[in-house]
A = this chain, B = another copy of it.
Amino acid sequence: MIGVMDDDTVDRLRRVPSRLLAMANGHADRLVGGGLSGVGAHRWHFAVLATLADGGPASQAELSRRTGIYRSDMVAVLNELEQHGYVRRAPDPDDRRRNVISVTGAGERRLRELDALVTALQDELLAPLSKAERERLVDLLARLVSHHGGMPA
């Protein structure tokens, strides 16, 4: 991650938005990544499970689009989820290129567990901000992201 500099040094770098984003993202990554790996999970697992739970069964390519995970990486993620019984892969009878991915009961339980953990980690991440400030931050970031096209092309 990008480190933090001395507090009394006022240089122009300190307020460059892209740099602040990189630093904040670094901390968030360590927090969330560390927390999830502590229970043998990965952010990708959470993203896929949550997407499936919210939008219903979908093909791998569709999941890729919704989560922003490349479909080449999606394979491994689904392998792991399937291996743990959190997810089911079934051939789509209407389109034999596709697999229909759906969550299992165990997957739903796992998602609830991960969801609670992720929520707690967000809370830790945003600790210095009030509730209103957190909402403002989320709102500003969401507007940035959606302005730049949301998901990877």
Partner of A25, one of B12, B21, B142, B150: B21
Verify B29–A22 contact, CB threshold 8 A: yes
Count of interface residues, chain A, beta-carbon cutoff 8 Å: 69
Partner of A5, one of B43, B65, B125, B141: B65
Verify A140–B144 contact, CB threshold 8 A: no
| A20 lies within 8 A of chain B by Cβ | yes
Which B residues are CB-close (under 8 A) to A121? Answer: 18
Which B residues are CB-close (under 8 A) to A38? Answer: none
| A51 lies within 8 A of chain B by Cβ | yes
Which B residues are CB-close (under 8 A) to A134? Answer: 17
Mark A residues whose CB is within 8 Å of B: 1-7, 9-29, 31-32, 43, 47, 50-51, 53-56, 65-68, 115, 118, 121-122, 125-129, 133-134, 136-138, 140-152
